Amino acid sequence: MSADFCKNAQERPEPVKAEVKGNIPSWLQGTLLRNGPGIFSVGETSYEHWFDGMSLMNSFTFKNGEMTHRSRFLRSDTYKANMEAERIVVSEMGTMAYPDPSKNFIFKAITLLNHTIPDFTDNGASNFIRYGSDYFATSETNYIRKIDPVTLESQEKVDYTKYLPVNMVTSHPHYDKEGNTYNIGTTIAEKGKTKYVLFKVPAVPQKGKSKDALALKSVETICSLPCRSLLTPSYCHSFGLTDNYIIFIEQPFKLDILKMATAYMRGVNWASCLKFCPEENTLIHLIDRKTGKSTEIKYYTGAMVVYHHVNAFEDDGHVIIDVIAYNDTSLYEMFYVRNLKNNTGVKDTGYSTPSYRRFVLPILSDKGVAVGQNLVKLKYTTASAVKEKEGKLVCQAEVLCGGLELPRINYDVNGKRHQFVYGNCVEESAVAKQVAKFDTETKNMVYWSEENCLPSEAVFIPRPNGESEDDGVVLVAVVNRNPGQSSFVLILDAKTFKEVARANVNGELHKDVHGLFIPHES
């Protein structure tokens, strides 16, 4: 990933038909939305971290064997303010914005106050979320921006805090079969309490609410969990969901609120206020979806950093949790622009390769079980949960494979036992050059790659009325760095992981982060 990855993109808001090679399955009808940073410099100012770039949204619409592409910048308040000032004036996690030196003292004082009690950015450049029938561009702050999923036009700005006491919310929600959305937010020192809030947004508005009303107005709090440490809440990017449980990992990767309040004065970015405490353990919360209460047994494991859950499911008195885990925070460091421009690799940064870890949490009471006994009874895993004392189990994961990130599954089996996972290969670098299909049962992995091509997230789309878990296609937006060749959307047969078609885009694609697929019936 060289300097060209941090150059500003150009939006292409009008739909343009792609040149298709091969045959796109006729049943593939819908739109793949992708989100990621697209503007890295404004005037003479530049972002210091790749994740800070202003959002560029892409849509790839499949219909009758054809694909059309369009892209737009998210017209957030951040975008408008930066463009009007012709410089970066809104701070992001890895980039602190300071006033133009020509501004007066009062302006600088107001800027300082805004950073002491942060009013976060609304630059939703990480993913898309569906609440009710509406779609929103999101990062992880309290602001999301409604968008038109067809035209990608930006609409109203929404503040979570008007409906829930949360300052940060994950960009990886879950959806159930009824269309309800589940998510987790963090409350920073509200009435002296720092806590995690688990909530549900119903698919259908409550009685008495307008059909067109914002779905968040009907939000239901499932439960609140106090932080283990009052002023250092754990960073949470995703979580797990089964039929009966919500899984939240409280990891020793924390945001120091006091340091965050003084970061601007100290001349450092907010990301420097995130700290990893390897000497501390990780607490895995298992919350009953119906009662909102945590299980009596507490589950602990060693220090780790988890950004992405793969899946979670229940089996014979156990909850199984699959995650992608790191031993440190070097992943974030890899994406500082200075490192990307220097083509910094594994040896230069000490990049910690992630591992695919499977944890097993026994649900049944540990009363009468001897200290030191392993309570896991499943035969297909080597994961353990050993009783340390009454009500406390120490869990050791089974490592299924290494070097896989941005995991996706057939979401129809989310919360159920799955066999296949699709992801990016990051064995040597956080910037993937391959995508893979991993079989959790045989541990076999098959790959797709092409010279000088950088794939995005591998998104599985099930064939209607499919006969097996991997009956469908995998869609991958690919940045093609070969001179004179187009970037493209790759369509892989999910069973064989062989290419069935590619749609060459008339224009550049840029490295993105996450996205979702909207079937046409939606």
Q: Is the dihedral of CA 184, 415, 306, 516 positive or negative?
A: negative
In terms of Cβ atoms closer than 10 Å to its own Cβ (0-12, 13-18, 19+), residue 470 is buried
In eight-state DSSP terms, residue 399 is: E
pTM: 0.93
Alpha helix (H) ranges present in 294-432?
330-334, 337-341, 346-349
Secondary structure letter of residue 370 according to DSSP: P
Which residue pairs from 436-441 have beta carbons closer than 8 angstroms and sit at least 24 positions apart in sequence? 436/404, 436/497, 437/470, 437/474, 437/494, 437/497, 438/356, 438/400, 438/401, 438/404, 440/322, 440/400, 441/380
Rounded Cα–Cα distance for residues 436 and 402 (Å) = 12
Buried b (16+ CB within 10 A) or exposed e, 123-152: bbbbbbbbbbebbbbbbbbbbbbbbebeeb
- Is 318 annotated to bind a ligand? Reply is no
Query: Is the separation of the CB atoms in 488 and 464 below 8 Å?
Result: no
Q: Which residue has the tokens 């895993």?
A: 381
DSSP 4: G
Radius of gyration of the chain (CA): 23
Alpha-carbon distance 55 to 58, whole Å? 10
Cα–Cα dist 156/159, whole Å = 10
The per-residue pLDDT string of the chain (522 residues; one tens digit each, 9 = 90 and over) reads: 444 678 999 999 999 999 999 999 999 999 999 999 999 999 999 999 999 999 999 999 999 999 999 999 999 999 999 999 999 999 999 999 986 655 544 444 444 445 445 678 999 999 999 999 999 999 999 999 999 999 999 999 999 999 999 999 999 999 999 999 999 999 986 766 899 999 999 998 766 566 678 999 999 999 999 999 888 999 999 999 999 999 999 999 999 988 988 888 888 888 889 999 999 999 999 999 999 999 999 999 999 999 999 999 999 999 999 999 999 998 888 899 988 877 644 444 567 899 999 999 999 888 889 999 999 999 999 999 999 998 899 999 999 999 999 999 999 999 999 999 999 999 877 889 999 999 999 999 999 999 999 999 999 999 999 999 999 999 999 999 999 999 999 999 999 999 999 999 998 999 999 999 999 974
Sign, CA torsion 253/259/264/265: negative
Closest to 70 (Cα-Cα) out of 33, 20, 114? 33
User: What was the pLDDT predicted at 274?
Assistant: 92
CA separation (Å) from 151 to 12, 14, 71, 125, 459? 11, 8, 9, 17, 21
Backbone angles phi, psi at 217, to 5 degrees: -65, -20
Which pair of structure tokens corresponds to residue 309?
């859950």
pLDDT value for 250: 98
The b/e string for 196-225 (b: 16+ C-beta within 10 A; e otherwise) is bbbbbbbbebeeeeeeeebbbebbeebbeb
pLDDT of residue 109: 45
Residue 93 C-beta-side C-alpha neighbours within 13 Å: 24
Number of other residues whose CB lies within 10 A of the CB of residue 378? 14
Let me know: does 54 contact 45? Beta carbons within 8 Å: no
Q: Report the distance separating Cα 45 and Cα 53, nearest Å.
A: 12
Find all residues with CB under 8 Å of 485, minimum gap 6, and list them: none
Structure confidence at residue 118 (pLDDT): 60
CA 269 to chain centre: 21
Host H or E run for residue 63: strand 54-63
* Residues 232, 226: Cα–Cα separation, whole Å: 11
The reply to whether 514 sits in an annotated binding site is: yes
How far apart CA 414 and CA 341 sit, in angstroms, is 38
The pLDDT of residue 206 is 66
Token pair 């002023």 is found at 231
Q: What is the model's pLDDT at position 427? A: 83
Q: Contact, 35 vs 140, CB < 8 A?
A: no
